[in-house]
Amino acid sequence: MRCTPEARAAALRDIDERDLRRRRTPAEDGRVNFCSNDYLGLARDPAVAAAMAEAAQRYGSGSGASHLVSGHGAEHEALERELAEFTGRARAVVFSTGYMANLGVLAALADKRDLLLADGLNHASLIDAARLVRSPRNLWYPHADAAAARALLDVHAPAAAAEGGGAFIVTDGVFSMDGDLAPLPALAAAARAHDAWLVVDDAHGIGVVGADGGGCCEHFGLDAQAVPVLIGTFGKALGSFGAFVAGDEDVIELLIQRARSYIYTTALPPAVAAATRRALRIVREEAWRREALQARIAQFREGAARRGLAVMPSTTPIQPLVLGGERAALAASGRLAEAGYRVTAIRPPTVPAGTARLRITLSAAHTPQQVEGLLAALDAAMREVAA
């Protein structure tokens, strides 16, 4: 785009004409929020807030520097130890955001000789991470199609190996817009057959999926050998901010030494690390939160089926209702807002063209009455949009 006022105005008109303009509205508007990623209700938990406040009084409001200068402190050290134990890995490292963690992982571990296989519906941060590597063997397999990934490995992995490269399979654990789980056991088997790395971003699985909230690896019974690089975030089920990568000693040390998105940014405030430690403890000790969440998911899905609302087949807190067109998704979101419910319309390029949707998310903090109210409002909104 040319850097002229006319060009900028034309670009914005194009966004408007395609019903793709995004707008920010204050979250504290009195509506019941059904599009947050706060799956366990920890973002406003008093114990988590108290841990943050206490640490802020002790350490101040910021870390003051990057981890490798002077920003790494006792709270970061403790959090990394606890994350390694929680995930069953030898070591973990904390990043300032999930986006930066994903960028850092591939930039530090892969190079132009390597084969990169990525799920077609991976998060934008994984897409950008693969592009940064600039490998000529940057390939996509159809969503959740482990057989296709295996076939691509069979064809392209030998050529990468002949040039001194390796192979990576990169996938979300829980897909953020569809709510389904990656076929990790089949992907792990494909990776093992070609001595490839399986890299899993389990941002929406950690804390939620698995009997103890250990995420998709726990759910499928996959250990550190099957999934050598595990990425997770704190801003979803843990209710705070930031991210981590867990792996063996050498993997984590390579990230510390090579990942530019780790080296050249300010460390998380110690107070945020302290809050995350408290949230992680709650995840481990308060299983009732996952039980309550599963009850709300079952309630929503049963109610949706009874009303003929065709939500996607997801067992996670992410319950998408695909409407197709951008205008229909915006209209339905607007009707729900008028009824007192916040459900954002998700449109391209976040999702593929023709699959605009309402991305409904559930939380342990929701009450059965709130879920029933949403279902009634959703039913009415769908009827109005279809009329």
pLDDT tens, position by position, 220-236: 999 999 999 999 999 99
For residue 122, what pLDDT is reported? Answer: 97
Residues with Cβ < 8 Å from 27, sequence gap 6 or more?
A: 33, 342
User: What residue ranges of the chain have pLDDT lower than 50?
Assistant: none
3-state secondary structure of 33: strand
Q: At what angle do helices 46-59 and 270-285 cross, to 10 degrees?
A: 150
If you search the block for the tokens 């991470």, which residue do you land on?
129
CB 245 within 8 A of CB 95: yes
Burial of residue 225 (number of CB atoms within 10 Å: 0-12, 13-18, 19+): exposed
Cα-flanking dihedrals φ and ψ of residue 96, to 5°? -75, -30
Check: pTM over 0.85? Answer yes or no.
yes
3-state secondary structure of 41: coil
| Cα–Cα distance for residue pair 143/122, rounded to 1 Å | 8
Identify the DSSP state of 163: T
Q: Where are the beta strands (DSSP E) in the chain?
A: 32-33, 91-95, 115-119, 137-141, 167-172, 197-201, 229-233, 243-247, 318-324, 341-342, 345-346, 356-361
76-95 pLDDT, tens digit per residue, is 999 999 999 999 999 999 99
For residue 178, what pLDDT is reported? Answer: 97
> In order of start, what are the domains of the chain with their CATH numbers?
46-285 (3.40.640.10), 287-386 (3.90.1150.10)
The sign one gets for the Cα dihedral 237, 243, 249, 250 is positive
Which among 270, 226, 281, 232 is positioned nearest to 248, based on CA atoms? 226
Cα atoms in the Cβ-side hemisphere of radius 13 Å centred on 315 = 9
Residue 370 one-letter amino acid: Q
Active site residues: 176, 204, 236
For residue 146, what pLDDT is reported? Answer: 97
CB 105 within 8 A of CB 116: no
Which among 149, 108, 101, 94 is positioned nearest to 125, based on CA atoms? 101
Count of positions (residues) in the chain: 387
For residue 1, what pLDDT is reported? Answer: 67
For residue 387, what pLDDT is reported? Answer: 66
